[in-house]
Chains A and B, each alone.
Chain A
Amino acid sequence: MGFYLIKRLVLMIPLFIGITIISFAVIHLAPGSPIDMATDLNPKATAEVKARMRALYGLDKPLHVQYGTWLSRLLVMDFGTSFSQDGRKVTDKIFERLPITIFINIFSLLLILTVAIPLGVLAATYKNSLFDKATTVFVFVGFAVPTFWLALLLMILFGVHLGWLPISGLKSLNYEYLPTSAQLWDRVSHLILPILLSAFGGLAGLSRYMRSNMLEVIRQDYITTAKAKGLSQRAVIFKHALRNALLPVITILGLSIPGLIGGSVIFETIFAIPGMGQLFYASVMARDYPTIMGILVIGAVLTLLGNLIADVSYALVDPRIRTT
């Protein structure tokens, strides 16, 4: 197991370097530069000023030199300084916003798991029943609903018409003046819609996946054997079938991380949540290269870590993987 883990970790290094090279190239080769953005509206900005700014930001050197500098700084967790007005360190900017994004994503993953697995299992157990058909319809609609639209509708319903839930931010304006219990509810109520909605997309996918896994497993000989020796339906499904059908789900969870992180741009923009997605959107708009790079890399690292955790836990529960 130790060897497997080390092998996986070593394999991550070239992947990581590849990711950084692609991000770097994409961002720096795109036409237009942050210098132009900063000086476009300033008549005093002469060519000489621009050149000085370029030198200040290190943008005058050849691309591979810039990349080398960036990478060597990265080794000591230095993402550089943001190009934006505040001129803060990129690591500070990102890490103050990372927790809320991760928090929302973890909760929506948990929600996906607790709803999608039972849904898929029941649909497979009672194949072609009314429940199965209803789930199938739900799944297809779930695939097709643009989640940002669903967010708008729920905002209209719960926020505007019913007035039950707040529709933006993390806390109310009068948060400081509320009693403790109300403060807690205030926090929770701001997170209900974002978590619900970021879970929604994954929900459909996972329950469908779970259903087809279960159907696959139920067909196996050992399930027939279990039934033949007189076990109850319950024991067959939950003890024998479910465990085996759950295995591939681990991998799917690892693979769904990029989608969740990507989705956070949309939710954080709609609900005005100060997380990583919103920061990314703002940085892209301002051509803040170091921050864009930082977030792309952190997003990719989170994905790599997610995949690693998925693979390792898969190897833990399924010994066949370790040997290959």
Chain B
Amino acid sequence: MSKEKNLCQAFTDQEKLRHLFWKRFRKNKLALTGAFIVIFLFFAALFAPWLSPYDPGQINIKKILQDPSAEHIFGTDQLGRDVFSRMLGGSRISLLVGFVAVGIASLIGVFLGALAGYYGRWVDNLIMRFVDIMLCFPTFFLILAVIALLEPNIWNIMIIIGITGWMSVARLVRAEFLSLKERDYAVAEKALGARDFRIIFLHILPNALAPVLVAATLGVAGAILTESALSFLGIGVQPPTPSWGNILTAGKDNIQIAWWLSLYPGLAILITVLGYTLLGEGIRDAIDPRLK
């Protein structure tokens, strides 16, 4: 009986927390702006083929480097392709890279962080020294080297950004595990003879995921920035596949004459990254208002 009551209590606590979360989140104008931007971009990427006024790959020699006009609202590029359509295509790439890269980073980070925090001692030492080593690399150098040595394509980019970006998540999860593994429910589970795997992934992990969610949201922003920088340098997404970064490369090549090639893709990156940053910070503030 009392156990049932406790369960009910725990359930309503959960509900209350969720309610509090939404209450705080709704009041935060910046966070709402972020959420709005993220949702908007998500739909733009989803419906890109139907929203594009032109085929993003359609070359038109008669319309090279045209100023923005009613016909081509963001102008045309050095091959006469419609910049607005290419940017819509680019939004899909950004989103894909952002989510997959962060997914990989989160998986690695959560797994290693959980092991380090739960087992402690030499496991912890080993994993955390590995984290220290990875943090010593100028990450961008490492990414650049690996991408160029492999082959610059979108899959390699996502994987590399993922495996160079898990360290902060590992640290967060480890810290959570250090305190959570001492909680009654974890100790009780262990006393009942549950296997470590079960305790770690089924019981402790769900309670340690809040900071991971925040880190992941901010991570999407970071991954999108990295991808655009790589594509800008010519070792990211390769033309003719459109990406915001490689449209900017065309902008740089035509810097004296075609400002629109530089302005709009950059604005798109800015707004996207801003959206994810605001959303991430908003979630953090709503989870734990003390951190604000």
Contact = CB atoms under 8 A, between A and B. Distances in A.
Do chains A and B interact in one complex? yes
Interface of A: 14-15, 18-19, 22-23, 26-27, 30-32, 136, 140-141, 143-146, 148-150, 152-153, 155-156, 160, 167, 212, 255, 258-259, 261-263, 265-266, 269-270, 280-281, 284-285, 287, 292, 295-296, 299-300, 303-304, 307
State the majority secondary structure of interface residues on B: helix
A269 B133 CA distance: 27
A246 B150 CA distance: 43
Interface residues of B, number: 46
Contacts of A150: 266
5 contacts: A143-B273, A146-B232, A146-B266, A156-B255, A284-B145
A148 B229 contact: yes
Interface string B232-273: 110000000000000010011001100100110110011111
Interface string B133-144: 111111111101
A150 to B, nearest CB: 8
A31 B150 CA distance: 6
A160 B256 contact: yes
Contacts of B251: 152
Contacts of B1: none
Contacts, number: 141
Contacts of B17: none
A19 B266 contact: no
B141 A261 contact: yes
A281 B233 contact: yes
A98 to B, nearest CB: 14
Given A18-B133, A281-B233, A296-B138, 13 more contacts: A19-B136, A22-B137, A30-B146, A145-B270, A146-B229, A148-B248, A261-B141, A265-B141, A269-B233, A280-B145, A281-B144, A284-B144, A284-B148
Contact of B130 (A18, A136, A304): A18
Contacts of B141: 261-262, 265, 280, 295-296, 299
